[in-house]
Amino acid sequence: MRFWALTIKEGYIMIDEYRESVSYPMAGKEANKTPSVIDLGTCKLGGGHFALIAGPCSVENHDQILSVAEAVKAAGADILRGGAFKPRTSPYDFQGLHEAGIRYLLEAKRATHLPVISEIMGVNDLDLFSDVDIVQVGARNMQNFELLKKLGQLKKPVLLKRGMGNTLLELLMSAEYVISGGNENVILCERGIRTFEPYTRNTLDLSAVAALHELSHLPVVVDPSHATGRWQLVPPMAMAAAAAGADGLMIEVHNDPDHALSDGGQSITTKRFAALSEKIKKIRAVVSE
């Protein structure tokens, strides 16, 4: 692979240097010309397999996660999400239930037999995640290289979210940190980038889906909830992501969005999720033809 560097010579921008090297040999297509498949037992993700990840932003208490888990399963979800460690901009906002949150999430897993995904924030919390099926690295930690190196020592799937200010190339390089450490089970996730447009929380970059499929064998999931920050925009963006070829979707669903402890404004109700799930299936059928 060639990199380029720009320089100025007599007042013109010139390309003056190339570096022949491979920047993401294990995340790139050269390593694996066929798409990777993540096998979670009850479902698969990637290489033609589509998975719907749903659940609340935060695990708030035992009953909440149980009831949302049952509702999203009935509505077609394949994987349950629920945050126990919450990266919050302000130190005064709800930071998650930590150990108890993971415990409640695992109870929901046992009750519904859905695989579960939850976000990790620190290298020292890893032991708590031994029964969590997918470890999520949040956008703010996409370049927390110490954490990535640690996750490279696992065998467990890692869902790696693109940072709000990070390029696709950097996302692939961060995936390379995990894979080169020994863990091939990486799922990429587009969740919106920072732009000048204030109407949405971030700008969902759906061309990332097709672009990442050109560049890498890794599956690509889209999170329309964090990207838009507005529940009204979640269904159209979820359908758009499926049409763009995403291998999965991660959608925030809450039994009572108005009283959610975090991100209520971007969560859809379980009823709306059920209707959306039906539409997604039909769009997937058109795309996979």
Asked if 216 and 27 touch (Cβ cutoff 8 Å), the reply is yes
Residues 87-116 that bind its own copies (CB under 8 A): 87-92
Q: Compare residues 127 and 289 and give the one whose CB is closer to its own copies.
A: 289
Residue 178: left (phi > 0), alpha (psi -120 to 50), or beta?
A: alpha
What is the closest distance, in whole angstroms, from the C-beta atom of residue 92 to its own copies in the complex? 8
Token pair listed for 155: 């065998």
Residues 37-76 vs its own copies: string with x where CB under 8 A? ----------------------------------------
Residue 211 DSSP code: H
Residues 164-193 that bind its own copies (CB under 8 A): 164-170, 173-174, 176-177, 180-181, 193
Task: Please name the residue ranges forming H helices in 86-130.
Answer: 99-112
Q: Compare residues 134 and 242 and give the one whose CB is closer to its own copies.
A: 242
What is the closest distance, in whole angstroms, from the C-beta atom of residue 183 to its own copies in the complex? 12
Q: Compare residues 155 and 258 and give the one whose CB is closer to its own copies.
A: 258
Q: Compare residues 18 and 61 and give the one whose CB is closer to its own copies.
A: 18
Q: What is the largest CA-CA distance in the chain?
A: 70
Beta bridge partners of 53: 79, 250
Q: Compare residues 5 and 111 and give the one whose CB is closer to its own copies.
A: 5
What is the closest distance, in whole angstroms, from the C-beta atom of residue 66 to its own copies in the complex? 28
Beta bridge partners of 18: 4
Distance of alpha carbon 239 from the chain centroid: 16
Provide the terminal-to-terminal Cα distance of the chain, rounded to the nearest Å: 34
Binding residue (CB under 8 A) for its own copies from 221, 237, 268, 276: 237
| Secondary structure (DSSP) of 49-116 | B-EEEEE-SB---HHHHHHHHHHHHHTT-SEEE-BSS---SSTTS----THHHHHHHHHHHHHH---E
Q: Is 214 in the site for its own copies (CB under 8 A)?
A: yes
Task: Give the separation between CA 256 and CA 131, rounded to whole angstroms.
Answer: 27
Residues 116-155 that bind its own copies (CB under 8 A): 121-124, 140-141, 143-146, 149
What is the closest distance, in whole angstroms, from the C-beta atom of residue 268 to its own copies in the complex? 13
What is the closest distance, in whole angstroms, from the C-beta atom of residue 110 to its own copies in the complex? 28
Q: Compare residues 76 and 181 and give the one whose CB is closer to its own copies.
A: 181
Dihedral of the alpha carbons of 210, 214, 215, 219, in degrees to the nearest 10: 60
Q: Is 269 in the site for its own copies (CB under 8 A)?
A: no
Token pair listed for 22: 């491979």
Q: Is 29 in the site for its own copies (CB under 8 A)?
A: yes
Counting residues that bind its own copies (by CB under 8 A) gives 93
